[in-house]
Amino acid sequence: MAHANLDDVKTYLLDLQDRLCDALAAEDGRAGFREDAWQRADARGGRSRVIEHGALFEKGGVNFSHVYGATLPPSATAARPELAGRGFHAVGVSWVLHPENPHVPTSHGNVRFLIAEKAGEAPVWWFGGGYDLTPFYPVLEDVRHWHRVARDACAPFGEEVYPRYKAWCDDYFYLKHRDETRGVGGLFFDDLNEGGFEHCFAFQRAVGDSFLDAYLPIVRRRRETPWGERERDFQLYRRGRYVEFNLVWDRGTLFGLQSGGRTESILMSMPPLARWEYAWEPEPGSPEAELYENYLAPRDWLGEEARENQA
């Protein structure tokens, strides 16, 4: 049963990678994804696809991987010590998009499936994933659209699902050393196996399939917004936060490195350029200050909208 499930999920993930790449390349309009298929001697492998120097995307990647081993990495068993020592299979698609225009948000997403196996015992499986948005010059309309699509993707699975995974995203994509969120959140879930395989797999597909509906309308609204050196400098400064999160806090990065994944593919998420400046603070009342004052802490984006509409 476990391996049949693995094959079903793998088929979906490969198709999702194709659909994401096709749509994002079409949206860019100039650059396409180049594929770097990789295979290890132990049969681990994947398809890394990267887009660079496009009309829209300065750098982006949509990667598929299938890794396995005799022992789950420590990052996977830290919260589930009862699985330590089990062999595993992990399949997933992850994507990160770094537009050149500072007014178009960076975005990240992934969907994954893991099976932990031990001789003489039933396999233990679970799903994880989600997506989040990292604007530098946020627009409230865009943030609410993003969360509406996320909520609607969750709706068939219960009213409590979106609030739960929205809060989990706010908590997960949080830079503790900076006391700020990475962006405006979205969805994050892990260790999902409640309700049976078909139910959980359907939820994973709903999340993966909704990403383009969440992201592309924002891209289309903001990609022609004029920008200059000031906006570019701020974008590169805030990209530094993205690097800090991925290298200090992100469990996915750690799992990939610990599980013997391909380093070049794992670090595909890094922006092409970033910068750091000592003790920098935005000018009061500036557009840059708006990000810090109103967007880098958890908010009930859709609840606020509903209350405004009722007023």
Mean pLDDT for all residues in the chain: 92
260 assigned binding-site residue: yes
108 assigned binding-site residue: yes
98 assigned binding-site residue: yes
CB 125 within 8 A of CB 5: yes
112 assigned binding-site residue: yes
111 assigned binding-site residue: yes
The gap between the terminal CA atoms of the chain, to the nearest Å, is 53
Dig out the tokens for 165 from the structure: 């995974």
In this structure, the dihedral spanned by the alpha carbons of residues 28, 137, 63 and 74, taken in order and rounded to 10 degrees, is 180
The residue behind tokens 């908010």 is 299
Whether residue 2 is predicted with pLDDT greater than 60 in this model: the reply is: no
User: For the chain, which residues make up each domain, given as ranges?
Assistant: 3-309
204 vs 236: CA distance, rounded Å:
32
158 assigned binding-site residue: no
pLDDT digits (tens, 9 = 90+) for 183-201: 999 999 999 999 999 999 9
87 assigned binding-site residue: no
CATH topology of domain 3-309: oxygen-dependent coproporphyrinogen oxidase (3.40.1500)
3 tagged catalytic: no
Number of residues assigned to the chain: 311
CB 253 within 8 A of CB 266: yes
Query: Which is the catalytic residue, given 66, 89, 103, 108?
Result: 108
Full-model pTM: 0.93
pLDDT digits (tens, 9 = 90+) for 12-61: 999 999 999 999 999 999 999 999 887 765 657 789 999 999 999 999 99
Residue 274 DSSP code: -
Whether residue 226 is predicted with pLDDT greater than 90 in this model: the reply is: yes
What is the DSSP track for 184-231? SEEEEEEEE-TT-HHHHHHHHHHHHHHHHHHHHHHHHHHTT----HHH
pLDDT digits (tens, 9 = 90+) for 229-261: 999 999 999 999 999 999 999 888 887 787 777
66 assigned binding-site residue: no
